[in-house]
């Protein structure tokens, strides 16, 4: 049996869809599993990385764990609820790894993120790195994947932009849009995760990014072309404005942004994929135009 922790999320759902093409024994771990059995036949089990006592039951009888989860208000931290990078990526990963190891899980795949490093400036990169160490230091065979910036039909980031672009007169962009990203189609991330989840799959740390390194402005222009609105204007908003707004809305239960989250979305996300293509022979990752064309169409 394979357990996808975070299988209700953006990346996790794509992983589940991809796994179901090859195998039927897929279970999803969710902190909010109220729904039981899903329409696709996948079983939901409760598992909350903030409540270690739930994890042993979740991993019982599992051979492979895929971890692709994060806190509900990501990337806006809510420390009082435990919704922080440190609590999820570092401590939460440690808890799930420990439970998996104790339950005799053979293989662990951790969806980390591009930029993970022990001495990184930003806490999200340091917490990811600490989570990776927990996975790599365990007794199971392990694969750590570090995607760059993933997009697809169910994403939150790019789809917000698409909604603006379809309806509004212009499209607001936080910052000058010059950050470098390497967009990777979520279905391609899922393909890599599925291959990595084989018990004898590649072990180690692999960065996963699409074939193009481009600025965020270029990404957004590609989206405008894909939806048939190439002439629409991008309006750049200085980060200080959303940062100030983020400080004001911080007390809301699900604040849409925070000063740190503004840094998160305006930071670079670039991957070094040389090791990936050596280890995952024959892998092909789609260009941004190819990926967008699978789910975006011009509309009148
Ligand atoms: N999206 C990207 O572009 C991208 C790029 C690189 C790396 N990543 C990494 O990939 C991972 C998944 O990202 P995503 O965008 O797919 O996130 P997402 O759509 O927000 O999904 C989050 C998942 O976490 C689960 N979750 C929330 N609270 C939990 C808890 N207390 N215990 C256990 N599970 C919990 C949710 O399940 P329930 O709500 O059902 O509990 C949901 O399935 C993250 O670690 C992220 O950093 C994402």
Query: What's the CATH code of the domain at 13?
Result: 3.40.50.720
* pLDDT value of residue 278: 96
**90/204 Cα distance (integer angstroms):** 18
All residue ranges of the chain with pLDDT < 70 are: 35-37, 300
**Residue 39 domain-assigned (yes or no):** yes
- Locate the ligand 1 atom nearest the alpha carbon of residue 154 and give its number: 19
- Locate the ligand 1 atom nearest the alpha carbon of residue 51 and give its number: 31
Scanning the structure block, which residue is given the tokens 């840094």? 263
- Locate the ligand 1 atom nearest the alpha carbon of residue 114 and give its number: 6
First to last CA, the chain: 46
* pLDDT value of residue 300: 65
* pLDDT value of residue 270: 94
Which residue, judged by its Cα, is nearest atom 32 of ligand 1?
48
**237/234 Cα distance (integer angstroms):** 10
**Residue 299 domain-assigned (yes or no):** no
CA distances from 144 to 51, 69, 75, 152, 222 (A): 23, 14, 21, 21, 30
235 CA to middle of ligand 1, Å? 30
- Kindly compute the dihedral angle of the four CA atoms of residues 59, 63, 67, 69, in this order, to the nearest 10 degrees: -40
> What six digits make up the tokens of 30?
């969710």
**13/69 Cα distance (integer angstroms):** 11
205: containing domain: 2-293
Number of domains present in the structure of the chain = 1
Beta bridge mates, 208: 147
Express each pLDDT in 196-221 by its tens digit. 999 999 999 999 999 999 999 999 99
**268/271 Cα distance (integer angstroms):** 10
* Distant-in-sequence, close-in-space partners of 134: CB < 8 Å, separation ≥ 6: 90, 93, 94, 97
* pLDDT value of residue 35: 61
* pLDDT value of residue 191: 98
240 CA to middle of ligand 1, Å? 27
* pLDDT value of residue 258: 84
**Residue 298 domain-assigned (yes or no):** no
**Residue 164 domain-assigned (yes or no):** yes
* pLDDT value of residue 254: 81
Ligand 1 probe mutation, 11, 81, 185, 196, most atoms within 8 A of CB = 11
6 CA to middle of ligand 1, Å? 5
**147/183 Cα distance (integer angstroms):** 9
200 CA to middle of ligand 1, Å? 25
Peptide bond into 247 cis (omega under 30): no
Ligand 1 surroundings by CB, under 6 angstroms: 6, 8-12, 30-32, 47-50, 68-72, 74, 111, 113, 147, 149-150
- Locate the ligand 1 atom nearest the alpha carbon of residue 69 and give its number: 24
156 CA to middle of ligand 1, Å? 12
Largest pairwise CA distance in the chain: 57
84 CA to middle of ligand 1, Å? 12
- Residues 129-139 as b/e (b if ≥16 CB within 10 A, e otherwise) read bbbbbbbbebe
**Residue 300 domain-assigned (yes or no):** no
* pLDDT value of residue 87: 98
Q: What is the DSSP letter of 34?
A: T
pTM (predicted TM-score): 0.95
233 CA to middle of ligand 1, Å? 32
């Amino acid at each position: 049996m394979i357990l996808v922790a975070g299988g209700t999320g953006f990346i996790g759902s794509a992983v589940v869809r991809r796994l179901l093409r090859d195998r039927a024994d897929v279970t999803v771990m969710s902190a909010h599993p109220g729904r039981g059995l899903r329409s696709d036949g996948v079983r939901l089990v409760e598992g909350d990385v903030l409540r270690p006592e739930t994890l042993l039951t979740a991993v019982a009888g599992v051979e492979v764990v895929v971890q692709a989860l994060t806190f509900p208000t990501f990337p806006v931290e809510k420390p009082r609820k435990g919704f922080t990078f440190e609590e999820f990526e570092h401590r939460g990963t440690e808890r799930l790894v420990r439970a998996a190891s104790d339950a005799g899980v053979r293989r662990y795949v951790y969806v980390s993120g591009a930029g993970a490093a022990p001495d990184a400036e930003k806490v999200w990169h340091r917490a990811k790195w600490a989570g990776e160490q927990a996975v790599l230091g365990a007794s199971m065979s392990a694969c750590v994947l570090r995607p760059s910036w993933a997009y697809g039909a169910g994403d939150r980031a790019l789809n917000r932009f698409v909604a603006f672009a379809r309806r509004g007169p212009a499209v607001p962009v936080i910052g000058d849009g010059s950050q470098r990203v390497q967009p990777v189609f979520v279905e391609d991330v899922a393909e890599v995760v599925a291959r990595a989840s084989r018990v004898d799959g590649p072990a180690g740390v692999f960065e996963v990014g699409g074939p193009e390194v481009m600025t965020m402005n270029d990404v957004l222009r590609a989206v405008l072309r894909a939806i048939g609105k190439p002439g629409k204007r991008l309006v750049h908003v200085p980060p200080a404005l959303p940062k100030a707004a983020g400080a004001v809305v911080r007390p809301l239960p699900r604040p849409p942004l925070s000063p740190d989250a503004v840094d998160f979305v305006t930071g670079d996300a670039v991957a070094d994929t040389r090791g990936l293509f050596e280890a995952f022979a024959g892998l092909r990752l789609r260009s941004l135009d190819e990926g967008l064309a699978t789910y975006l169409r011009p509309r009148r």
